[in-house]
Amino acid sequence: MPFLPVSKQDMTERGIEQLDFIVFTGDAYVDHPTFGIAIISRMIEAAGFTVGVIAQPVSDEDYKKLGRPKYCFMVSGGNIDSMVSNYTVALKKRYDDAYSPGGKGGKRPDRALTVYCRKLKQLFPDVEISVGGLEASLRRFAHYDYWSDSVMPSVLVDTGADLLMYGMGEVTLSQMLNNFKAGMKLSEMHDLRGTCYLTKPENTPIGAVQCDSYEIVSTNKKAYAKACRKQYDEQDEVYGRTIVQRHGNMMLVQNPPQRSVTQSEFDYAYELPYMRAYHPMYDKVGGVPAIQEVEFSITHNRGCYGFCNFCSIALHQGRRIQTRSEESVYNEAVMLSEKPNFKGYIHDVGGPTANFRQPSCAKQEQHGMCKGKKCLAPTPCKNLIADHSDYLKLLRRLRSIKKVKKIFIRSGIRYDYILADKNSEFLDELVEHHVSGQLKVAPEHASNKVLDYMGKPHVEVYEEFQKRFYASTKKCGKEQYLVPYLMSSHPGCTLNEAVELAVFLKKHNIRPEQVQDYYPTPGTISTAMFYTGLDPYTMEPVFVPRTAEDKAMQRALLQYFKPENKRLVEKALIMAKRRDLIGFGKECLITPTEQNSGAKHTSAERRNNGRKTPPKSKTQKTQKRNKQGRHS
């Protein structure tokens, strides 16, 4: 099956005079199911419609090159929010972009979704627009925008789009396509679950949950925090209700979340005839780097009931686990093994959390996910069903494929879920068969206070997993290591908690090569904490590291061992009243600099961890004899 049309020539060769749909994306055109726009466009094609793709348009000619669609434009900012893609957490412009041709940044505009839609409205004012993807999904309500340091209205207001699909859109898209076949327009599809739209206030649905207006939440932080909680509390397909939020003279309406895909629907979406490659028009610039990590990786699940506060998955993919069938995953693995450039390695069999392959409990099918609670943090729910048997069965079958040498698991692994499973088989097989020397896990922090704000398990859980991991590694005779992901400057983390993390790292001899400052991305609970200084679920004040110096000190503490960080670490320790960690003892993080050494230490004291009357070493005695000899 060829790539979808990207030019008039492609349309002519297929005998297409006018396309039914034209999709726009902020990414390069990669026809692979890890790219949302690829799934959407292939589903449109499979439903009997024609569809073309315009990737990263710049000029008016780019926007117009496929003409006007019969039904509507469908626009996505890409796999990542365009502002996250374009800027570092320090608000510096990025010069690389794995989702762009040649890996070079600058191919997508800031706020790509808004830029694309406004231009389409200018060029084709009478053509309707549907928006979707991560940028649309996470910005569907009034939201704090880190890059402008302000609360922005729903992206529907800024884009002028007619309908917004939030979450994973396969079911919603299928229903939408059926409506188009029935002669409906987007503006007539206001009953679709999983969508948002703007309407006049007098048309507001009865019985909806109302958040304070954009005008209120943009100036009142308590109102913003309360709105955030309401939005999360209704994100369940069983009991979630319609939510409304006024924006000026219009009402934003979010219909209840769409139902999850069935296993057969999930299989169908991933078995469509993808090229599983970037379009050849990018060959001359070296292709699109993002394909390298996913070309030989397999998605077997989606959704995550881990529900970390800083993560966008709960608001986008949802907390409910959805899985592909074993047969579908196996067939994909066989297909990958037959590709000419396959070297015998499947890089991942995972998803948001690789080792989730069943519901967290038996109650959610009828009652939904528990409102305001987490399945795993701070401790596992008593109703949690921790069982890796189905995932193990899948992995064992994949390992049996003739041309497969090794299968790695590189997606997130929930180690607390592993510990909750009374059967240790999964950990043993993970260590023996699926780790490439290093296993990346995400404890994120060592302060339980901060971990509670993150919605993560306590540090003692990580320490227990670390113990078991290395015991299992030793048992199978391998030398493998844990590589922990760590985050600095998350809301709730003062210098004291940052120091606590540094002490933990020293104790466990962990020297992270890379650390990540907390990045306030749109729509998350942690971002609400960052903006408001309040916990949306308790309304209690939360300390937020805001200044560049605060963030720099916290980041430096995570890499206290680097010489270039010494002065910042020393300043942080003094401010935290932890001078006991500056010195020459085994527990100290750094030695003092000359200007802040306090009482002067002799060289002998430094060599002897601060003891004032050290015994003379053989080296000292030799130096004394040599000194006497020079003066005789």
| Structure tokens belonging to residue 321 | 């686990």
Instruction: Measure Cα distances from 178 to 44, 171, 202, 263, 491 in Å.
Output: 11, 11, 28, 21, 45
State the pLDDT at residue 599.
Answer: 43
State the pLDDT at residue 436.
Answer: 86
State the pLDDT at residue 511.
Answer: 94
State the pLDDT at residue 595.
Answer: 61
* Strand 150-152 with 209-211, pairing: unpaired
State the pLDDT at residue 597.
Answer: 54
Which tens digits make up the pLDDT trace of 482-533? 999 999 999 999 999 999 999 999 999 999 988 899 999 999 999 999 999 9
Q: Domains in the chain, start-ordered, CATH in brackets?
A: 8-192 (3.40.50.2300), 296-436 (3.30.750.210), 439-600 (3.30.750.200)
* Strand 195-199 with 143-145, pairing: unpaired
Beta bridge partners of 199: 251
The residue type found at 169 is: G
What Rg, from alpha-carbon coordinates, does the chain have? 28
Locate all alpha helices (DSSP H) within 508-617, ordered by sequence.
525-532, 548-558, 566-575, 603-607
State the pLDDT at residue 154.
Answer: 98
Q: Which residues in the chain come in under a pLDDT of 70?
A: 1, 595-632
Reduce the DSSP state of residue 217 to 3 states and report it. Answer: helix
pTM attached to this predicted model: 0.91
- Cα–Cα dist 458/449, whole Å: 9
State the pLDDT at residue 52.
Answer: 98
State the pLDDT at residue 100.
Answer: 97
The residue type found at 550 is: D
Beta bridge partners of 323: 301
Residues 6+ apart with CB under 8 A from 329: 298, 300, 349, 394, 398
Whether residue 72 contacts residue 21, with contact meaning beta carbons closer than 8 Å, is answered with yes
CA atoms within 13 A on the CB side of 2: 11
CA atoms within 13 A on the CB side of 426: 27
State the pLDDT at residue 515.
Answer: 87
